[in-house]
Amino acid sequence: MHREKPELIFFHTGNEHKLDEASQVMSELQIKIRSLKDISSSISVVEPQGENCAQIAHSKIMQVLDSVEDELNGNWLMVEDSGLFIDALGGFPGVYSSYVHSTVGNEGIVKLLEESKDKSARYISSISFWDGERIHSVQGHCKGRISLESRGDSGFGYDPIFIPEAGDDRTFSEMTLLEKTALSHRTMALKMMVEKLNFPSM
C-alpha cells in the first residue's frame, strides 16, 4: 500500500510524555504530532476494557472518531494504549498498568518481585491510527528487566524501575528523551506505522 506522507497527525492522549516521545520520533520524518485537545476539548471516551493493548487502542479510536471525525478535516488521528508486562507475574500489570501505577506504584511492583529470580519484563505499545479512510493497528515491544532500586528522574510511569535490554545498565528514567526513544516500545510502534503505509517519499 502507498500513501502520501501526512504532515500532521493528531494524537489523542492525556499524557504529555507520550506526546513528547511521539513528537521526537516523528520529527525525524518531518511529521508533526499535535494533541487532539488542540482542536477538540470535549471528547468523551469511556476507558475501554480489553484483553490486550491492541483491543483497547482499537476500541478507543472508534469512540474518538465517532466524536471528532468531522473536525479532523482529513487529517490523521492516532491513539495508543500501552503497558508493562512482567514475566514472573504472568504479564501483570499488563492492561491494568495505569491503575496499578496509580495505586501501588513502583514500590508495589518492586515488593512483588523482591523474591523472584526472574525480573524480565516488556513494555508493549499498541497504536491504532486513522489515515482519513481506514483504521490500522500496529504494535511495538521493548524487552528489559525490573530494577529493585528506583533510579532517575525523567520519563514517567514505570521508567524509574525499567532497564531496557538493548541499553546499558541504566533505567529509562536515567536516559534523555533521545536515548529512551532510540529503544522504546512506542518508537517501535511508530516505526511500524510508518513502514506499514510505505510512504513513497521515504
Which residues are tagged catalytic? 81
Q: Residue 15 or residue 55: which is nearer to ligand IMP going by CB?
A: 15
Per-residue b or e along 178-193, where b marks 16 or more CB atoms closer than 10 Å to that residue's CB: ebbbebbbbbbbbebb
Residues between 128 and 157 with contacts to ligand IMP, criterion CB under 6 A: 155-157
Write down the least CB distance from residue 18 to ligand IMP, Å.
7
Q: Which stretch binds ligand IMP (CB under 6 A): 82-90, 111-119, 132-140, 194-202?
A: 82-90
Find out whether 101 and 54 touch, Cβ atoms under 8 Å.
no
24-32, 34-42, 63-71, 95-103 -> range binding ligand IMP (CB under 6 A): 95-103
CB of 14 to ligand IMP, least distance (A): 8
Stretch binding ligand IMP (CB under 6 A), from 65-73, 77-85, 105-113, 127-135: 77-85
- Strand pairing class (32-35; 8-12): parallel
Q: How far is CA 26 from CA 53, 66, 117, 156, 187, in A?
A: 22, 26, 38, 20, 9
The span from the CA of 77 to the CA of 75, in Å, is 7
52 binds ligand IMP per the rule CB under 6 A: no
Number of helices (H), then strands (E), belonging to the chain: the values are: 6, 6
* Nine-digit cell string for 185: 516500545
Least distance (Å) between residue 168 CB and ligand IMP: 18
Closest CB to ligand IMP among residues 128, 184: 184
92 lines the binding site for ligand IMP (CB under 6 A): no
Cα separation values, 149 from 83, 101, 141, 158, Å: 20, 16, 23, 12
The site for ligand IMP (CB under 6 A) is made up of 15, 81-84, 97-98, 101, 123, 155-159, 184, 186
